[in-house]
Structure formats: structure tokens, C-alpha cells
Amino acid sequence: MDTLLALGYPALTGLTDTELVNRLRPLRQVAATLPDQAEGDDRPGHAALVLVVTRDMADPELTVPTLRLAPRGTRPGIVDRNHGTEGLDPYRPIEEVRLPDTAAYLLVDVDRGEEFLGVRPEEALPVILRRGRTPLTIEEGIAVVTHAPHILERNRCFMLSGSRRGDRRVPAMWISSGAPKLGWCWDGNPHSWLGVASTGGRLAGPAG
């Protein structure tokens, strides 16, 4: 939560600092009930817990520029212009990804999916689903780089196969010119430097 305040998310969401904190406080309470492993995850390419702000609260076109590379990156994140004139708006979660009906939620057990380096995204997806996991969406990928920027490494970047726009394009997060970049690649093309990121689950705050 402090990270979002430092990055200027209140202005991006149209809320004051206090209003944003109050909106997200129930998620902090949920996080406090999780096992101790949720306090941190030192495994390469993993994060135990990530706070996601959806496009209902903040436009991803505006949150990508807040991203920086770890440990001391200074260049702002970039949205690839090749997404087209409509930008990120056409992307929606795939059928297998069931998002909480809330503007913010928690991701648990995030894996950047480097085992799928050099594997076509269309071939990686059924493997991920058989394991009871689901791929990340665009907003979730942004959240991961926001709160766990160490996961995005050169030659260890990742696809966000949980978001699609009705064609063969798969959004992906990689590094370009010393900055995080949200681009896309074809579903049928393997890339030696792009895995397929996934999560073990999503948690919303208490109703009401």
C-alpha cells in the first residue's frame, strides 16, 4: 500500500491518500490472516503476495509509466505502441480466469513461469491450467512489477496469457532500453526470453 502511495496512485485513481488507504485496508486484513510464507518469497521468479489494482480503479495505460526496474531503475515503464490505436482497452480476461468482483484484490503464489521459456504460449496454457493455476492478466502483470520488480529480469521476462483481445496476440512484460515494457507477442511463437506467468489464486477483501 505504501508503494502505491509513493508512486502517486491516489492521483491516478482520483482518490485522496486517505481514501485510497481506506479502500485497500480490507486487503491488508486479509493478508494478515495468511500463512507466514506470505510475508515474503526469496525464490527466484516468485512472489508470495501481490496487491492488484484493476482498471476499474486505475487505467493501465497510466500505471505502466510508474514501473521501474529493480534495484535502481530510473526509466519509466512503456506501453508498446504496436497495441494499436485502441491501446490496452480491448484486452479482457480469458474464460478460465475468474477475477474477484472488486476494484482491488490479492494474488497469491505468483510464478513468472520461466520453465516455459522457449515454449509457445498456446502450449503452456493447458499445462498451467492442469496444475490448478491460472495465467496473469495485464493488470496483474503491472502489479507484479510494481510490488516485486525483481521478478522482471533480463532474459527472464513473461507473458500475460490471462488477457486476450480476440486474436492471436498475447500481452507480455519485458525489458526495453532499460525500462519495463508492456508489449505483445503471437500465441504460436516461442521466445527464449519469455515465460508464461501464473498465480495460485486470487483473494478479495470481506464483503461489505
Q: Where are the domains of the chain?
A: 2-203
User: Tell me: the pLDDT tens digits for 110-148?
Assistant: 999 999 999 999 999 999 999 999 999 999 999 999 999
Query: In Å, what is the CA distance from 19 to each residue of 3, 15, 37, 74, 96?
Result: 15, 6, 29, 28, 32
- Give yes or no for residue 161 having a pLDDT over 80: yes
Q: Helix (H, G, I), strand (E, B), or coil: what is residue 176?
A: strand
CA-CA-CA-CA torsion sign (166, 168, 172, 177): negative
User: Tell me: the pLDDT tens digits for 35-65?
Assistant: 864 445 668 899 999 999 999 999 999 999 9
* In the chain, beta strands by DSSP E: 46-53, 78-79, 92-93, 104-111, 134-135, 157-159, 163-164, 169-176, 179-186, 194-196, 198-203
Lowest mean pLDDT among 2-11, 145-154, 198-207: 198-207
Query: How much is the pLDDT for 205?
Result: 86
